[in-house]
């Protein structure tokens, strides 16, 4: 018996079998959860449908979090299959590629900042607002962050600001939704080669740096992030909300690297 038996989870952010959202979905499925998925656009539809099938799910709906209408349609579509559910997983981020490199002050624009914050932070609130009437007692919302929220990191730039906003969003949502029995948490994951990491300059260098300096001397996998997410969204974590849990092989706890 898994610790997510009789829980239903909506997974937002699968783009491939390397997506963190896929690691979360797979881990939740292994703990007994029933799943539903969304895809951002038609290009991703068939890929997400195949992955959904592998977890025994046939609930796959479109959702572009940039659109209020798309978010409304998602939950009216979901209602056709589920009257209510327990877990919302948000694993979505975006900033214009040109702003994820080089000099932060030089390369950050008004429009890039707006987009990054809207897609990577506000969308969590927007989804929660629309999901609220369908969330059961003892349900849970979770999102993915990165160390760039709390430390300056090379090239992460405006995404760092958006993740700082996301982490504050998690705390405010936890306070607002706690009285209704909804917990809200985040996982700050170490770097993982996903589509969102593809084409990021020096990503190899970041992975090597973590492998050399993290206490566990390795990079984390989507399975490890998924297992932590499954725990945080389960009743085993009934006393945890508003929290950011680091799943990063301990990297963020080290004060002096390379000694």
Positions annotated as catalytic residues are 146, 156
Question: With binding defined as CB under 6 A, does residue 150 bind ligand NAD?
Answer: no
Which of 93, 130, 173, 182 is close enough to bind ligand 0WE by CB under 6 A? 93
| Binding track, positions 192-221, relative to ligand NAD; x by CB under 6 A | x-xxxx------------------------
- Of ligand NAD, ligand 0WE, none, which one does residue 228 interact with (CB within 5 to 8 Å by kind)? none
Question: With binding defined as CB under 6 A, does residue 228 bind ligand NAD?
Answer: no
Question: With binding defined as CB under 6 A, does residue 24 bind ligand NAD?
Answer: no
Q: How far apart are CA 101 and CA 75, in angstroms?
A: 36
> Roughly what angle, to the nearest 10 degrees, separates helices 68-79 and 123-131?
30
Going by DSSP bridges, is the β-strand pair 85-90/244-247 parallel, antiparallel, or unpaired? Answer: unpaired
The nearer residue to ligand NAD, 94 or 136, going by C-beta atoms, is 94
DSSP for residue 180 = G
Which of 159, 222, 230, 249 is close enough to bind ligand 0WE by CB under 6 A? 159
**Residue 175 C-beta: closest distance to ligand 0WE, Å:** 25
- Of ligand NAD, ligand 0WE, none, which one does residue 66 interact with (CB within 5 to 8 Å by kind)? ligand NAD
Q: How far apart are CA 2 and CA 246, in angstroms?
A: 23
Q: How far apart are CA 45 and CA 220, in angstroms?
A: 27
């Amino acid at each position: 018996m898994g610790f997510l038996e009789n829980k239903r989870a909506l997974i937002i952010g699968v783009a491939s079998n390397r997506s963190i959202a896929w690691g979360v979905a797979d881990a939740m499925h292994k703990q007994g959860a029933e799943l539903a998925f969304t895809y951002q656009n038609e290009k991703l539809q068939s890929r997400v449908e195949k992955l959904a099938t592998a977890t025994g799910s046939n609930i796959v709906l479109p959702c572009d979090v940039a659109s209020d209408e798309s978010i409304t349609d998602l939950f009216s579509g979901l209602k056709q299959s589920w009257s209510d559910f327990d877990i919302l997983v948000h694993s979505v981020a975006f900033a214009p590629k040109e702003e994820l490199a080089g000099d932060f002050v030089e390369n950050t624009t008004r429009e890039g900042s707006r987009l990054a914050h809207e897609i990577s932070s506000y969308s969590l609130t927007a989804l929660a607002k629309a999901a609220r009437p369908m969330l059961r007692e003892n349900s849970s919302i979770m999102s993915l962050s990165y160390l760039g929220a709390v430390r300056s990191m090379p090239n992460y730039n405006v995404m760092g600001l958006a993740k700082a906003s996301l982490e504050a969003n998690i705390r405010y949502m936890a306070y607002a939704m706690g009285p209704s029995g909804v917990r809200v948490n985040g996982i700050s994951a170490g770097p993982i080669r996903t589509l969102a990491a593809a084409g990021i300059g020096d990503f190899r260098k970041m992975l090597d740096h973590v492998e050399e300096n993290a206490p566990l001397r390795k990079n984390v996998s989507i399975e490890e992030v998924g297992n932590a997410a499954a725990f945080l969204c389960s009743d085993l974590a009934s006393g945890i909300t508003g929290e950011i849990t680091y799943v990063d092989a301990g990297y963020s706890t080290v004060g002096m690297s390379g000694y």
